Homo-oligomer: A and B are copies of this chain.
Amino acid sequence: MLSERRLEVLRAIVQDYVGTEEPVGSKALTERHSLGVSPATVRNDMAALEEEGFIAQPHTSAGRIPTDRGYRLFVDKLAGVKPLSGAERRAIQNFLDGAVDLDDVVGRTVRLLAQLTRQVAVVQYPSLTRSTVRHVELLSLAPARLMLVVITDTGRVEQRHVDCPAPFGDTALADLRARLNSRVAGRRFSDVPQLVQDLPESFETDDRGTVSTVLATLLETLVEETEERLMIGGTANLTRFGHDFPLVIRPVLEALEEQVVLLKLLGEAKDSGMTVRIGHENAHEGLNSTSVVSVGYGSGGEAVAKLGVVGPTRMDYPGTMGAVRAVARYVGQILAES
């Protein structure tokens, strides 16, 4: 096991490297941190830390930089979560309070997170697996063409066109609308298929085809809705990556454009509590030199979606984690209120 002081040395190395972006040597370390020992001793400690794989040297006779494993130890054992200042909290509150609808909430959250952490922010839309249908609306666009609108309790609205196999009368339409709502309003997405199963039978033979088509579209819409969507922002912060960034930035941008990749990324994180994935711990290759800090958020006790940031492994973990956690809490509050 590593001695207390060696851990302290590792902490110092991480802090300095994060600050200066340059390999840190034994002398500089003793000067900046009062470790109470000489550079030579620190050198021995460093050798041990390197032996264990927590730090590495880019080349002989250069200082050390933390490895992914070093960062891992740092966030697990050495770093706390830095709480935000009162001013920052108030700023978050104010900024989020102005949101008018769900898109706006998510949009503001992304911008907020990006600004606060100075990194790339990713916010997943509230998931709908546990959400309920608030209302279903049916409109007639043409004799054999309907529009189906589904409104969810998280404030999402989705609409689909439906081409009917046969013309569909206004009274039948009103009938279907009423019955549909009485059955599914307030129910969970997952329950809907059962609830509407026998609906076609209660209609005239002529109309059954249309009713079935409408129901099929409804179910399809709900499934699609369950697939999470997300929003990203703060990509300009990618330029803070470091000097070698031309090589690194490309795959990151590519990964960020693929929603599937990001969803998988967030999906890999724990459902509750904060998750930090460092460098190669990320499954996606392009993100091997980035770290992802994510956390679930939700309106009630349970988390309905996740949000987080993507940045260089060389990041200020305590600060970033603090910001991510704080933002998640406030967003949860906002969602609960609306």
Interface set of A (CB-CB < 8 Å, partner B): 100-101, 134-135, 137, 139, 141, 147, 149, 151, 155, 157-161, 224, 233-236, 238-239, 245-246, 249-250, 253-254, 256-257, 338
Give Cα distance in the complex from A223 to B148, angstroms.
25
Q: Assuming A239-B250, A239-B253, what are 7 further A-B pairs, CB within 8 angstroms?
A: A101-B158, A134-B139, A139-B151, A234-B257, A235-B235, A236-B250, A236-B257
Q: CB-CB < 8 A to A161: which residues of B?
A: 338
Complex Cα gap A193–B153 (Å): 30
For the complex, what is the distance from the CA of A236 to the CA of B255, rounded to whole Å?
A: 9
List 21 A-B residue pairs with CB atoms under 8 Å apart, sorted by A's residue number.
Answer: A100-B224, A101-B160, A134-B147, A135-B147, A137-B149, A149-B149, A149-B151, A157-B158, A157-B159, A161-B338, A233-B257, A235-B235, A235-B257, A236-B250, A236-B253, A236-B254, A239-B246, A239-B250, A239-B253, A245-B246, A246-B246
A256–B157 Cα gap in the complex (Å)? Answer: 27
What distance in Å separates the Cβ of A79 from its nearest Cβ neighbour in chain B? 29
Give complex CA distance A222, B196 in Å: 35
Closest B residue to A236 using CB positions = B253
Partner of A160, one of B100, B135, B246, B254: B100
A149: B residues at CB distance < 8 A: 137, 149, 151, 157
In chain B, what residue has the closest Cβ to A155? B159
Q: How far is the CA of A48 from the CA of B178 in the complex (A)?
A: 78
In the assembly, what is the distance between CA of A135 and CA of B147, in Å?
A: 10
Q: Which residues of B contact A245 (CB under 8 A)?
A: 246
A232 to chain B, nearest CB (A): 10
CB-based contact B233/A253 at 8 Å? no
Which residues of chain B have C-beta atoms less than 8 A from A160's C-beta?
A: 100-101
**Which of B101, B224, B238, B246 is the one whose CB lies under 8 Å from A159?**
B101
